[in-house]
Structure 1
Amino acid sequence: MRDDTDFAGRHVLVVGGSSGIGNGIAHGFRIRGAEVHVWGTRPAASDYDPGEGSDLAGLGYSCVDVGDRAAIEATAAPFGALDVLILCQGTVVYGRGEFEPDGWDRVMAVNLDSLVHIARKFRGQLAQSRGSIIIVSSVSGLRGNIGNPAYAASKAGAISLTKSLGQAFASDGIRVNGLAPGLVDTKLTKATTSHPERLEKSLDSIPQRRMGTPGDMAGAAIFLASPLASYVTGHTLVVDGGLTL
């Protein structure tokens, strides 16, 4: 019997796959047989600490500043063929820094602008394989965020972009979908998860009464990239334990 979640022989690139959600997604595909390469921000894979949620064993690695379009263009494709592109890059500026021009520009460059630049870079390879793009946004893109306007706006833009690229790339046989995580314990959410009172308040608002895990997000990504979702295009799957209900 055919296993639609078997990715043996497939090639997967996870942008932002060096830690957190992206790293969980990368290993989700790896353990299902895919050859997986990740883009991260540190000079070498050895610069990542497993204690910080980074496990690069069995993964290829490239250092790319996706906030710099020239760096994206200059980086060699990791494979001769590409089947799945996961766009999981993200940054945030705390302390109300996103209200300032530099903070706003940096967050938008990484969280939104780079999505287009990378999707365009790999469109040809994905068309050849009739592959899939998955854009990881956030439930912050579905509502306001009083302290992080650029983060929320960029994630709302990512959700809209998923629809637009889904339309634009469908003629190439490329399916574009997304997933919007809720609260997951990663470097970007430490402002909440490392403070017991804030964490307790957040958990009270989640019907499942727990944070999500990178593995939860991997399951959603694997579904969206698999033949099980062959008629799903332009959709962002909310994976939040019921937080936005």
Structure 2
Amino acid sequence: MQELDFSGKTVLVIGGSSGIGNGIAQNFLSRGAEVHVWGTRAAADDYAESTDSNLQGLHYAQVDVGDVGQIERAPIAFERLDVLVQAQGTVLYDRQEFLVEGFRKVLDVNLTSLMVCAQKFHPLLKAAQGALIIVSSAAAFHSTRGNPGYNASKTGAFGLTRTLGEAWALDGIRVNGIAPGLVETKLTRITTSNPKRLEGALRTIPLGRLGTPQDMANVALFLASPLASYMLGQTLLVDGGMLLA
């Protein structure tokens, strides 16, 4: 389909080294885009043993987005940017997010960095009349009892998507988002690797299966394409029907 051909386009996926972000990055690559990704490890080879990472064909750079200074100092390896996907994310378990240090760490990565990165790349997105896609979570629509930092940050990301969508529309930048449900990645292994927890989770999903990075990548392609040219400030819930009940 011509609308989903990204040949000649440049895409940056922050958090594109693994999981959902990596699935999105590889999907844009398969559609002809030049794709850059940011991750936390020193080099692309450091992800060689990761089961949810494929950096083949991608341009990799190490940037810890939990550190505002690193974001601001990070060199920009391209002159044009058509699509910015912000898929960075972290979560802390064992009630660490109830402590100030843990709560702040999660918000720095999951929320504050979204704004810092958006501002850094605003001029390039404006010049290209591009698209910004923010990956939040279905957690933005319900409580997550053990993870207040994660929940607050993803709810904030949902709100930021609406606000930047309105603020930057006159600059020609379309801002939209994706709220994934339960997707099998390293962040969800506490559930997906536990048969009892997994069975319970699957009972809440009408489609009867976990989401995949590819499921999220398909939606990202749509949001970045002309097919979504009249969508603005929206976050699409992609959860297999989990929150219907």
- Band the TM-score falls in, shorter-chain normalisation: over 0.9
RMSD over aligned Cα, in angstroms?
0.7
Q: Which runs of 4+ in 1 moved over 6 A?
A: none
Residue 66 of structure 1 is matched in structure 2 by 65
Residue 32 of structure 1 is matched in structure 2 by 31
Superposition deviation, residue 49 in structure 1: 2.9
Residues in 1 aligned to 2:48 and 2:140: alpha-carbon distance in whole angstroms: 30
Residues in 1 aligned to 2:188 and 2:48: alpha-carbon distance in whole angstroms: 18
Deviation by residue 1:115-166 (Cα, 9 ceiling, x = unmatched): 0000000000000000000000000111111000100110000000000000
Residues in 2 aligned to 1:143 and 1:204: alpha-carbon distance in whole angstroms: 17
Residues in 1 aligned to 2:77 and 2:223: alpha-carbon distance in whole angstroms: 22
Once the two structures are superposed, the pairs formed by residues 125-136 of structure 1 within 5 Å of their partners are 125-136=124-135
Residue 22 of structure 1 is matched in structure 2 by 21
Once the two structures are superposed, the pairs formed by residues 197-208 of structure 1 within 5 Å of their partners are 197-208=196-207
Superposition deviation, residue 51 in structure 1: 4.0
Once the two structures are superposed, the pairs formed by residues 131-150 of structure 1 within 5 Å of their partners are 131-150=130-149
Residue 7 of structure 2 is matched in structure 1 by 8
TM-score normalized with structure 2 length: 0.98
For 1:239, the aligned partner's letter is: V
Equivalenced residue count is 244
Once the two structures are superposed, the pairs formed by residues 45-194 of structure 1 within 5 Å of their partners are 45-194=44-193
Question: Equivalent residue of 1:25, what SS?
Answer: helix
Superposition deviation, residue 237 in structure 1: 0.4
Superposition deviation, residue 239 in structure 1: 0.5
Residue 243 of structure 1 is matched in structure 2 by 242
Residues in 1 aligned to 2:39 and 2:128: alpha-carbon distance in whole angstroms: 25
Question: Equivalent residue of 1:4, what SS?
Answer: helix
Identity of aligned residues (%): 58
Superposition deviation, residue 68 in structure 1: 0.8
Structure 2 gaps, min length 5? none
TM-score normalized with structure 1 length: 0.98
Superposition deviation, residue 77 in structure 1: 1.2
Question: Equivalent residue of 1:77, what SS?
Answer: coil
Residues in 2 aligned to 1:78 and 1:91: alpha-carbon distance in whole angstroms: 25
For 2:156, the aligned partner's letter is: G
Residues in 2 aligned to 1:202 and 1:85: alpha-carbon distance in whole angstroms: 31
Question: Equivalent residue of 1:37, what SS?
Answer: strand
For 1:189, the aligned partner's letter is: T
Structure 1 gaps, min length 5? none
